[in-house]
Chain A
Amino acid sequence: MNKKISTSIKRVDAGIKTGGAARYIGDIPFDGLLYGKIVRSSRARATIKSVSVPALPEGYYYIDAKDIPSGGRNRIEMIKDDWPVFADEQVRFIGETLGLLVGPDRKELNRLRDEVQVEYEDLTPVFSIEESEALKGGPIHGEDNTYADYRLKKGDPDAAFAKAARVIEDTVRTGFQEHIYMEPQGVVARTEDDGKLGIFFSGQCPFYVRHAVSATMGVPEDQVRVQQAVTGGAFGGKEHYPDVISTPLAVAARKIGKPIGLFFDRVEDISFTPKRHPSVTRFKTALDEEGNILGMDIDVRIDAGAYESCSMVVLQRAIFSVNSVYNIPNVKIRGRAFATNNVPSDAYRGFGAPQGLFAIEAHMSHLARAIKVDELKLKQQYLLKQGDVTVTNGRIHEEVKLPEIIQRIDEMSGYSKKLKEYTPGSWKGVGVSLFNHGSGFTGNGEQEIIKGVVKMRKRADGLVDLLVSNVEMGQGLQTTFRKIAAMVLELPVDSVVYNDPNTDLVPDSGPTCASRSIAVVGYLVQEAAKKLKDRWKESDIVEVRQQYEPPEGLIPWDQANLQGDAYPSYGWGANVIEVEVDPLTYEVTTKGIWAVHDVGVAIDEKVVEGQVDGGIIQALGYGSLEKLEVKEGRFQQKTMADYTIPTTMDFPKIKSALVDNPYEYGPFGAKGAGELVFDGAAAAFADAVQMAINGDVKQIPVTPEYIMEVREDGNN
């Protein structure tokens, strides 16, 4: 391990945040600020007949599609542009934006909003993958309601199934998950002194916002200036959604000529912002006489909701993850993202991978139970190795340290020993999961779409400006990026200046997502710093620029057929979880949590450990507590009292370790970590519960009610 870089330093933002001095979007004073309130659809699928707005008091405004300047578009240009800024003619989900009320008093805005009368003609909505697939009420999207329908094939699955002695079928389901970033969504728009449109926001991707706003307004991108504010958590929930609220707000700010803030309260945030995609994954697995896996046939379906946004990319990651760390020789995979009249699903930490990884881990554990072999032994039989073929017929280029990871976690947790000690069904259980996560954008996204650029400047005062568009959102980037630059330049960390990005001042190094900030942009930071070091003596002020180039030796990506190397490198991990289940109430108590990860090299051990802790607890929420039900297009849990995330009391202290495995194209050998650490805990938890109750667990969250169902099924 590169001890020097991994040794922890005190986070640069800790003091200012703890004392309450850091300014989040709602803390920044804006002179003469007005407030916006979104007028939302109350129907899931309907034609809008008319909207009638009450008489507005002086100083109040109603803004809708008619106010979009000529040359602008009533479309939010995200990865797809199917989501309108203001619903026109039709609404596709409850909560869709119809218009924006603006004025000085928030109470008055609420009153006015309640008085807006909308006449609808209802259409038949669909609220589940099954209803969508059955085309209930006619298609919402295209002819078959799929935003994307992909097929992958590796080896010769048909021949494998023809030879099978036995085929095991299994269906695994995962639910919605709400981000619950502690700071709700917020954005402010105003016209700046130089005539530009200024957007201040809480979120992950300043250049996404700039692009979306400029397209809606019909102005060149450099006429929009986006400034990120200190961001109170995001987890993917502030990757695209800020585009959805900054576009109508920009229209209003331009028309009214005053600064306007749009701040969600928690109920609005839970009710109407995107969630993690629910999924249903059906496996058919062909086994020979001895129980060896010959092949798999996998069908992945996700509920993408009312607009596509980024769902096809989420689906790609889901299907690329559905063989996880296993080299199954013959596989066919179909993946479909279905349109429904639920709130659009969108990015959430892991971006489809947690669904795919949970499904395969659950299925492997069910296989082991069905053929009565040791689960970990079964899994170990198929572990990917360097040089092996992936489901996209790419290769694993790096050394796979899973054997070492498994050995470490077994020593730490006593997994094998406990497996022997506890009898299945004795209300005590221990579960294991293995997983990996590709760093960076899927396929050729980094070189074809993102084309990230980093700049670095030596200033006359001897400080160094680090110019990047990636943001601090809690994951520690303010600290880790500075460390990378400072270590290369052999300067103290505090001589590197890295401010919350402003799109006028920094180049577009791409969005803050996809575990790419350290793995991809961090490498550009390192390379830029090397260049600057070489040219340090040239002059008082020296500026260098570094653009992304793909690593050498990859199998080129074919986007049309999803073939080649989907990711240049992966993080790897294993989790073990131990539980006790109450035989009367089916309440689960978690007794121990262990984790071992390979993130290449940690840029800062404490920052990585913080990601590990937070990722695992968030994933345990996903796996156990966080039930979010949708009924007739409305989430049934709308408050933090109904939708319960883990507290200090729910889980014991986590024991974690890292395995060193430097990656050639990562800064100091680092790979991505932020999502990997979310990927395994739900599966290990479910596995532990199924041992404790001796019944197959096939869905998350594993609530006491679900455990009762499994028990009752088992007894029948």
Chain B
Amino acid sequence: MATINFSVNGTSHAIDTDPLRRLLDILREDLKLTGVKEGCGEGECGACSVLKNGILVNSCMIPIGTCEGTEIITPEGLRETVQGKAIIDAYGESGAVQCGFCTPGMMMATEALLRKNPSPSEGEAREALSGNLCRCTGYDMIIDGVLKAAERGKGLW
């Protein structure tokens, strides 16, 4: 057992737990942040994507012990921001959402991309989302959503 101090969506937490537990489980089970999804549990699908100190990570691959002092943003946090709202709107208009299970992770990957590169090309958007799998959409409309968010949200990132 260890006490882990970290912040999630701007709120500080001190959690006593086994440091080997996955960040994904801490978020979903302990903090009830179920916007973070488990699609594979092995770092392949990106459904569990969150930002850890601003960097896109698969929370299923992160032991909570490595999160001491970090800032985590989940879909629940991002959706409250202007940037998150811009992405949600752009996804909706582009038809980027079908079953939706991959989508919160896609939104996180989009945010991570736009922070680094606020006006990506189609190729750059494809590359940035290549770690996030979607079985429904064939990706074209998700990529449209990313480009639309960048265009509409100019100046936000």
Seen from chain A, the residues whose Cβ lies within 8 Å of a Cβ on chain B are 8, 10-11, 13-15, 17-24, 26-27, 29, 179-184, 230-235, 265-266, 473-476, 606-607, 609-610, 612-618, 639-641, 645-649, 651, 653-654
CB of A19 within 8 A of CB of B104, answer yes
**Alpha-carbon distance A13/B100, docked complex (angstroms):** 9
CB of B101 within 8 A of CB of A18, answer no
List 12 extra interface pairs beyond A266-B40, A639-B40, A648-B143, CB under 8 A: A14-B88, A17-B103, A18-B88, A18-B100, A19-B104, A26-B38, A183-B39, A230-B100, A232-B100, A233-B99, A607-B95, A618-B138
CB of A21 within 8 A of CB of B35, answer yes
From 54 to 106 in chain B, residues with beta carbon under 8 angstroms from any chain A beta carbon are 74-76, 78-79, 84, 87-89, 91-93, 95-104, 106
CB of B34 within 8 A of CB of A645, answer no
Task: Tell me if B116 counts as interface (CB < 8 A to partner A).
Answer: no
**Alpha-carbon distance A27/B104, docked complex (angstroms):** 14
Inside 8 A of A20's CB, which chain B residues have their CB?
33-37, 74-76, 79, 104, 107
> Given the known A-B contacts A15-B92, A18-B104, A20-B79, are A617 and B37 also in contact in the complex, defined by CB atoms under 8 Å?
no
From 94 to 135 in chain B, residues with beta carbon under 8 angstroms from any chain A beta carbon are 95-104, 106-107, 122, 125-127, 129-135
> Given the known A-B contacts A233-B135, A617-B139, are A18 and B98 also in contact in the complex, defined by CB atoms under 8 Å?
no
> Given the known A-B contacts A27-B34, A476-B98, are A18 and B41 also in contact in the complex, defined by CB atoms under 8 Å?
no
Q: Mark B38-60, 1 if CB is under 8 A from A, else 0.
A: 11111011010000000000000
Partner of B99, one of A8, A21, A181: A181
Partner of A614, one of B40, B76, B98, B126: B98
Partner of A617, one of B89, B96, B138: B138
Partner of A182, one of B47, B74, B91, B143: B47
CB of A11 within 8 A of CB of B130, answer no
**Alpha-carbon distance A274/B51, docked complex (angstroms):** 35
**Alpha-carbon distance A142/B98, docked complex (angstroms):** 43
From 9 to 50 in chain B, residues with beta carbon under 8 angstroms from any chain A beta carbon are 28, 32-42, 44-45, 47
Task: State the interface size on chain B (CB cutoff 8 A).
Answer: 58
4 shortest interchain CB distances as A-B pairs: A20-B35, A17-B100, A474-B99, A232-B101
CB of A235 within 8 A of CB of B135, answer yes
CB of B95 within 8 A of CB of A11, answer yes
Seen from chain B, the residues whose Cβ lies within 8 Å of a Cβ on chain A are 28, 32-42, 44-45, 47, 74-76, 78-79, 84, 87-89, 91-93, 95-104, 106-107, 122, 125-127, 129-143
B80 to chain A, nearest CB (A): 9
CB of B92 within 8 A of CB of A474, answer no
Inside 8 A of A183's CB, which chain B residues have their CB?
37, 39, 99, 101
A607: nearest chain-B partner, CB-CB: B95
Interface of chain A, main secondary structure: loop
Partner of B97, one of A14, A609, A613, A641: A14
**Alpha-carbon distance A182/B133, docked complex (angstroms):** 8
**Alpha-carbon distance A591/B45, docked complex (angstroms):** 25
Inside 8 A of A184's CB, which chain B residues have their CB?
39
Q: Please, could you name 11 A-B residue pairs with CB atoms under 8 Å apart, sorted by A? A: A17-B97, A17-B99, A19-B78, A20-B36, A20-B79, A233-B135, A612-B138, A614-B138, A640-B42, A648-B127, A649-B127
**Alpha-carbon distance A632/B27, docked complex (angstroms):** 40
B76: nearest chain-A partner, CB-CB: A20
Inside 8 A of B38's CB, which chain A residues have their CB?
26, 265
> Given the known A-B contacts A18-B91, A475-B98, A641-B44, are A613 and B140 also in contact in the complex, defined by CB atoms under 8 Å?
yes
Inside 8 A of A649's CB, which chain B residues have their CB?
126-127, 130
Partner of B95, one of A609, A616, A640: A609
A612 to chain B, nearest CB (A): 8
CB of A610 within 8 A of CB of B92, answer no
Inside 8 A of B41's CB, which chain A residues have their CB?
265-266
CB of B133 within 8 A of CB of A645, answer yes
**Alpha-carbon distance A411/B136, docked complex (angstroms):** 28
**Alpha-carbon distance A19/B89, docked complex (angstroms):** 10
Inside 8 A of A13's CB, which chain B residues have their CB?
97, 100
B126: nearest chain-A partner, CB-CB: A648
> Given the known A-B contacts A19-B79, A266-B39, A474-B99, are A182 and B93 also in contact in the complex, defined by CB atoms under 8 Å?
no
A647: nearest chain-B partner, CB-CB: B130
